[in-house]
Structure 1
Amino acid sequence: MTHTDDTVLLDGGVAMPRLGFGVSESRDAHAAVAEALAQGYRSIDTAAVYENETGVGAALAGSGLPRSELFVTTKVWNVDGDRPDALGAARRSLDRLGLDHVDLLLVHWPNDDLGHCLSTWEAMEQLLAEGRTRAVGVSNFRPSHLRRLRSLGGRLPALNQVELHPHHQQPELRAVHAALGIVTGAWSPLGRGAVLGEPVLARIADRHGVTPAQVVLRWHLQQGTVAVPKSDDAGRIAANRDLAGFTLDGADLDAVAALHRTDGRGRIGPVPDRVDRIAS
């Protein structure tokens, strides 16, 4: 696994932009993605459960950009059902997106049922073999889930996208990723804005002449994370991508690391072990 400030190389040699654009809870995914593409983003992250794949697909089609310049990620649920259900869910996502393939397909949440987990992962491998996706991965898997998946044999996930931001830095999980060669992806990389009021981030931002959000996103890039910030605001969409021209030094990185809240106190989203019991 290698990476630059711009891309990371996934399993199979697939180059993925390190900074993408997310559309979870977007008020108007079509407009937001169109703006993001106009601002230079080329990696778009959506999911079936967001119920906006159709809008994302319309923005992609309307951009006039060659498909080869775009990196599209979507996700399927791993909650119940069997292999045909997972295959059908992924193909319906492709239909909504108006694409014959995505670049990265993720299992959205772990499932404590080993049989369902195996069936879903077999479906992912089949979709990869069929060319419906260029790479496969997971989202919200904890170390125990990744170890269980490894015990099944076959392909390991290329990427695990999880809640990751300065208040919730997931050091154990990132160590497991490093040991297994799995790329770390961050959803809600700005902690839904909760981290941006930290005085230390304001001080670092002032010193570099940038915003606290830009500091946090630069922190993600410097530790090798793939980040997908989201916004419906054109100004923030542009600013979140404007990360060139400054680098965090060791003292800056140590200061951000010190914002981590132990024992899961910094988590803002659901605990993954529980979601498969409440999702539908």
Structure 2
Amino acid sequence: MKDFPRLGFGTYKLEDRDECVEAVKTALDVGYRHVDTAQMYHNEEFVGEGLAESDVDLDDIFVATKLDTDNLGYDDVLETARESAEKLGVETIDLLYVHWPLDSYDEDETLAALDELYEDGLIANIGLSNFRPDQLETAIESLDAPVFAHQVEMHPLLQQDELRAFAEEHDHRLVAYSPIARNQVADEEVIVDIAGKHDASPAQVALAWLIEKGATPIPKAASPEHIRDNFAALDLDLDDEDVAAIDDLDSTHRIVDFEEAPWNHA
């Protein structure tokens, strides 16, 4: 099984072919070895081109994608997962998530199809995304295969204590999207002060804090400067005082929130 790197490269909103291809190639050149996309992003083909044009061996890259909410019926999961693999240029998708437990999500059908893909070897790991703890519990019980990862919005302004504890208890990874809260972390005095102390950016501090908490952040960036800046978070060592100061931030600020979101129907 491939290693699961501590930091990934997100591709949300990289919908322009040239921009997406170049961003993926740059990220891999900088050192990223985990690339995250989704059917809903409409860029799997572009990500695949970036992977193919990179000098990095595909066997050394962990590739993750997510099922669209329209594609969660049994047959749709099987068909579109194969389409995703073809677009990405991989024989096996390293991690396939249910993007949202919404719309056509059917616990029995969706999860049975994922088990089949896992058994057939088209996917190496099963992931869930944006699930409530009760939905996670039910899915874990329903699946034959293990849940490898749960992807959620997580950053210093939304610390996801319950889901972190759940991931630890059930032995799956917690993957953090919007890990710098669309750079709103740069408006938080505590984080700015810690960044100054370490001669780092607020984004780097947020990413380093997530890694310290055992999460895997997947920051999205388009420019080479931001791609490199985010990757440098791996070299930032926060001390216990820094971590405690961020832990003490009392915030439940969501970037991604809408009426149908699972947490609004608990």
Verify same fold: TM over 0.5. yes
The structure 2 residue matched to 1:206, chosen from 196, 205, 228, is 196
Q: Deviations over 1:202-224 (max 9, x none)?
A: 11111111111111111011111
User: Is the aligned partner of 1:111 residue 2:102?
Assistant: yes
Q: What's 2:187 paired with? A: 197
User: Is the aligned partner of 1:219 residue 2:209?
Assistant: yes
Alignment partners' CA distance in 2, 1:203 and 1:81: 45
Alignment partners' CA distance in 2, 1:180 and 1:75: 21
Give the C-alpha shift of residue 259 in structure 1: 2.3
User: Is the aligned partner of 1:22 residue 2:10?
Assistant: yes
The structure 1 residue matched to 2:88, chosen from 87, 97, 115, is 97
Alignment partners' CA distance in 1, 2:8 and 2:83: 23
> For the structure 1 residues 274 and 222, does the alpha-carbon distance in structure 2 shift closer, same or farther, using more than 3 Å as the test?
closer
Give the C-alpha shift of residue 151 in structure 1: 3.7
- Aligned 8 A contact 2:73 2:104 in 1: no
Higher share in helix: 2
Q: What's 1:88 paired with? A: 79
User: Is the aligned partner of 1:181 residue 2:168?
Assistant: no
The worse-fitting range, judged by mean Cα deviation, of 103-112 and 182-191 is: 103-112
- Aligned 8 A contact 2:7 2:216 in 1: yes
Written as runs of structure 1 = structure 2, the 5 A alignment for 1:1-280 is 14-26=2-14, 27=16, 28-79=19-70, 82-111=73-102, 116-152=106-142, 154-262=144-252, 266-271=253-258, 274=261
Residue 46 of structure 2 aligns with an amino acid whose one-letter code is: G
Give the C-alpha shift of residue 153 in structure 1: 5.0
- Aligned 8 A contact 1:169 1:260 in 2: no
The unaligned stretches of length 5 or more in structure 1 are 1-12, 276-280
Paired residue total: 261
3-state secondary structure, aligned to 1:100 = coil
* TM-score after normalising by structure 1: 0.86
- Aligned 8 A contact 2:10 2:36 in 1: yes
Q: What's 1:9 paired with? A: none
The unaligned stretches of length 5 or more in structure 2 are none
Alignment partners' CA distance in 1, 2:95 and 2:8: 12
Residue 87 of structure 1 aligns with an amino acid whose one-letter code is: L
> For the structure 1 residues 242 and 48, does the alpha-carbon distance in structure 2 shift closer, same or farther, using more than 3 Å as the test?
same
3-state secondary structure, aligned to 1:16 = coil
Alignment partners' CA distance in 1, 2:62 and 2:71: 28
RMSD: 2.2
- Aligned 8 A contact 1:149 1:156 in 2: no
Q: Percent identity?
A: 36
Give the C-alpha shift of residue 272 in structure 1: 8.5
Alignment partners' CA distance in 2, 1:45 and 1:30: 13
3-state secondary structure, aligned to 2:4 = strand
Runs of 4+, deviation exceeding 6 Å: none
- Aligned 8 A contact 1:158 1:182 in 2: yes
Give the C-alpha shift of residue 84 in structure 1: 1.1
Q: Deviations over 1:25-71 (max 9, x none)?
A: 12521121111112111110000000000110001001132121111
Alignment partners' CA distance in 2, 1:181 and 1:118: 22
* TM-score after normalising by structure 2: 0.91
Alignment partners' CA distance in 2, 1:70 and 1:59: 12
> For the structure 1 residues 99 and 150, does the alpha-carbon distance in structure 2 shift closer, same or farther, using more than 3 Å as the test?
closer
Residue 31 of structure 2 aligns with an amino acid whose one-letter code is: G
Alignment partners' CA distance in 1, 2:22 and 2:152: 25
- Aligned 8 A contact 2:155 2:181 in 1: yes
> For the structure 1 residues 66 and 260, does the alpha-carbon distance in structure 2 shift closer, same or farther, using more than 3 Å as the test?
same
